[in-house]
Amino acid sequence: MNENKLIEVDKLVKHFPVKAGLMNTKQIKAVDGVSLYIKKGETLGLVGESGCGKSTLGRTILRLYEPTSGRVLYNGTAIFDGNSRKQPKALTFRRKMQIIFQDPSASLNGRMTVGEIVREPLEIHGLFPNKAERANRVEQLLELVGLNSEHANRYPHEFSGGQQQRVGIARALAVEPDFIVCDEPISALDVSIQSQIVNMLEDMQERLGLTYLFIAHDLSVVKHISDRVAVMYLGKIVELAAADDIHAVPAHPYTKTLLSAIPIPDPRKSKANKRIILEGDIPSAIDIPPGCRFHTRCPYADKPECREREPELREVSPGHFAACHFVN
């Protein structure tokens, strides 16, 4: 194994059973055979439209959702192996892998003070057993995310959305993790606050040596914070490359569509930019179409291969992968 890889995911699958009538059960194929890795200290951006499986992938890596099959490795150690009957206990690696949720108001317990929320992980993992040491650690964490010690005695509803998210970040940092899943951490915030949170996450990464999986809709934000970007569509990774390459030379038709939708502040450039409008049927994660799962909406899918054979994620240039039969 490459020593630089902190997280490795191999053919990871997460299906959710749903009832289809009285007797039948179908599967929502939220994550359907994803393979990728994240190097130590890097940020892998994960983008795609709502319902494509981004958040499910992040939570399945952490085993907040138990995987259906596949493998997840943390620093070379299997934290889930679909071929093994006995899986390691989640708490053994939970301290090193944390998550920042999308909606801070929903992820913070309204009956607990901010101090209690940030202190809870310390108590669960048995860190700083002395009460005074725990209180000092909570104060340090709040200052680290731009809050002060007085905020520890307040409740989440007394804060703005940006301040609530800072509390969520402090809670994630409390146990000194190596890897954090940032599950759309700025999408519920005002635009004026988003850049502050992104800049703070970048500062934390540099100071603490963190590794991120950064999930978002906004490709411009993802380009700013990410080293590499993975594009997800209907449970699969369809393109993976360095952030600059994704924007400069997108290889997959779906990626080109996403990039064409980014607003351009310059009116002349915006007018020259050709917006790609997807047509055709939007498939369901329950009934995934045969062949390339994007072919029902792809403007270039006019060959039999698109409807009959699913493309593999292959390297089309050094470090640039795409899942399309006719990428060239």
User: What are the tens digits of pLDDT across the range 80-104?
Assistant: 998 887 888 777 788 999 999 999 8
> Please, what is the Cα angle at 117 between 115 and 119, to 5 degrees?
65
Model confidence over 148-170: pLDDT tens digits? Answer: 999 999 999 999 999 999 999 99
**How far is it, in rounded angstroms, from Cα 1 to Cα 26?**
37
Name the DSSP class of 308: H
Cα distance between residue 204 and residue 216, in whole Å: 19
Map residue 285 onto helix, strand or coil.
coil
pLDDT of residue 268: 65
Please give the Cα distance from 114 to 153 (Å, whole number).
Answer: 6
DSSP string, 142-210: HHHTT--GGGGGS-GGGS-HHHHHHHHHHHHHTT--SEEEEESTTTTS-HHHHHHHHHHHHHHHHHHT-
- The whole model's pTM is what? 0.92
Walk along the chain (328 residues) and give the pLDDT tens digit of each residue.
456 999 999 999 999 999 887 778 899 999 999 999 999 999 999 999 988 999 999 999 999 999 999 999 999 999 999 888 788 877 778 899 999 999 988 999 999 999 999 999 999 998 888 899 999 999 999 999 999 999 999 999 999 999 999 999 999 999 999 999 999 999 888 888 899 999 999 999 999 999 999 999 888 889 999 999 999 999 999 999 999 999 999 999 999 999 887 766 666 655 566 767 777 777 889 989 899 999 999 988 888 889 999 999 999 999 999 999 988 6
Length of the chain: 328
Kindly report the backbone phi and psi dihedral angles of residue 147, in degrees, each rounded to the nearest multiple of 5, phi listed first.
-110, 175
Q: Let me know: does 177 contact 205? Beta carbons within 8 Å.
A: no
Check residue 286 and report its DSSP letter. Answer: S
* CA nearest to 46, candidates 157, 185, 202, 142: 185
Domains and CATH numbers, the chain: 5-96+179-185+210-322 (3.40.50.300)
**Nearest to 176, CA basis, from 152, 144, 208:** 208
Rounded CA separation 43/180 (Å): 10
